[in-house]
Amino acid sequence: MIAAGTTDVAIVGAGPAGLVLSHLLSRAGIDTVVLERHDRAYIEQRVRAGVLEHPSVALLRELGLATRLDAEGLVHTGVQLAFEGRRHRIDFEQLTGGAITVYGQQEIVKDLVAARLDAGLPLVFDVEDVAFDDIDGSPRVTYAVHGEPHELRVRLVAGCDGFHGPSRGYVRGLGAVERDYPFGWLGILAAAAPTQDELIYANHERGFALYSMRSPTITRMYLQVPADEDADAWSDDRIWSEFERRLPTADGFTFNTGPILERGVTAMRSFVATPMRSGRLLLAGDAAHIVPPTGAKGMNLAIADVQVLAEVAERFVRDGDEDALDTYTERCVRRVWRAQHFSWWMTTMLHRFGDGDEDAYQRELQLAQLRHLTSSTAAATDFAENYVGVVTP
């Protein structure tokens, strides 16, 4: 027998997009059920993005979900760009009045899951075989939990289930544009106390490097590597030696080494699918778009999407305003492409793209851009506004 139920909005995916949306809709008095294919331990442990823009932090505070973030998050009022052996600081606070906060995505997920469960709201883990029917009329969501079939009758479906989730496949007339970059990032988590309180983006002739952190005791660092690189081919000694080469230690910067807790290679790609809505189904976050991580935009874009989704969902559920749903794609896509451009621009400015004359030409362009960025107040302000997230798309 199928276990049947009803709700206003079915949210597929319990990442930051789906969970933030669930809290926004709950605040508006709209009933939701969140469906997640993994178990709770998995989503609370997977390491993902860790940079929150100023507007993302402000929203979490507004929702009353930032207690631990404010206590444990690392506030950065600037970022450093390293090239030609020296570091140059971009002061976010002075240029924009804002800042970013480093707080791991898994920590955000822990906070949002706990708040939802503490409120007694439905969050279903270990969901399989999610499918939708009649998304143009009265949507029906079917799924299974440990082999037991379930069905939900809903007003709307929010597809927050990531790039590999089923939701995007139900969007009619879907078009997608994408770009794969010829390199990836070898990322590590190390039990080493950070020696800096800001990120360092390094442009180096051997390839890009990023110095970051996750807590006062954990360092998060990245190296540009070939896209098909095997992370296991990199010993601890090789990793630390390569960071020593690529980071600008000649100007007095030092970093701590320590046991490497995790390593893996992340592909670099851009992807945008439109429309982000089909009938009563709306996509958000990685289900609709991917950005290379250079600009730290992925999680923040997802949060921005669901702020719009919550608004149009409330108008539709409360007032039957179908026109509100029609505006969703256009309102989101403007911001998506602004973030795509910023992420592409940072990626092309900081990475090596090959060997030979073409790369030598591009490297001189990169250095010219970096010199301009770190000497022009106007250029630095534009960069800071985009990075902090206070720019209007």
CA 132 to chain centre: 26
β-bridge pairing 175-190 and 218-226 = antiparallel
Compute φ and ψ for 123, nearest 5 degrees: -140, 110
pTM: predicted TM-score of the whole model, two decimal places: 0.94
Burial of 358 (0-12, 13-18, 19+ CB in 10 A): exposed
Region 179-196: mean pLDDT is: 94
User: Which H/E stretch holds residue 273?
Assistant: strand 260-274
Which residue is catalytic, options 103, 143, 211, 387?
Answer: 387
Region 199-228: mean pLDDT is: 94
Region 43-63: mean pLDDT is: 91
pLDDT score of 203 more than 90: yes
Q: Is 293 a catalytic residue?
A: yes
Which residue is catalytic, options 181, 293, 328, 351?
Answer: 293
Give the separation between CA 197 and CA 91, rounded to whole angstroms.
13
User: Residue 90 domain-assigned?
Assistant: no
Domain extent at residue 326: 3-74+101-177+269-343
pLDDT score of 4 more than 80: no
Residue 300's pLDDT is 96
- The total number of structural domains in the chain stands at 2
CATH of the domain at 328: 3.50.50.60
- How large a percentage of the chain has pLDDT more than 70? 98
Same domain, 197 and 169: no
Which residue is catalytic, options 143, 201, 222, 328?
Answer: 201
Mean pLDDT in the chain?
94
Same domain, 319 and 356: no
Same domain, 316 and 374: no
Residue 1's pLDDT is 41
Give the pLDDT band (50/70/90) at residue 357.
Answer: low
Residue 252's pLDDT is 85
User: Residue 195 domain-assigned?
Assistant: yes
Q: Return the top range by mean pLDDT from 5-9, 46-50, 270-274.
A: 270-274
Same domain, 44 and 117: yes
Q: Which long-range contacts (CB under 8 A, 24 or more apart) does 126-130 make?
A: 126/36, 126/37, 126/38, 126/39, 127/35, 127/36, 127/37, 128/37, 130/12, 130/35, 130/37, 130/161, 130/165, 130/166
Q: Is 150 a catalytic residue?
A: no
Q: Is 387 a catalytic residue?
A: yes
Q: Is 297 a catalytic residue?
A: yes
Q: Is 76 a catalytic residue?
A: yes
Which residue is catalytic, options 76, 150, 204, 289?
Answer: 76
Same domain, 263 and 275: no
pLDDT score of 68 more than 90: yes
Same domain, 273 and 325: yes
Same domain, 212 and 339: no
User: Residue 96 domain-assigned?
Assistant: no
User: Residue 89 domain-assigned?
Assistant: no
Residue 360's pLDDT is 85
pLDDT score of 50 more than 90: no
Same domain, 262 and 273: no
Region 23-52: mean pLDDT is: 93
Which residue is catalytic, options 23, 150, 204, 297?
Answer: 297
Same domain, 27 and 119: yes
Is residue 10 within 8 A of residue 160, CB to CB? The reply is: no
Same domain, 147 and 216: no
Give the pLDDT band (50/70/90) at residue 47.
Answer: confident
Q: What is the pLDDT of residues 315-351, one digit of tens each?
A: 999 999 999 999 999 999 999 999 999 999 999 999 9
Residue 14's pLDDT is 97
User: Residue 94 domain-assigned?
Assistant: no
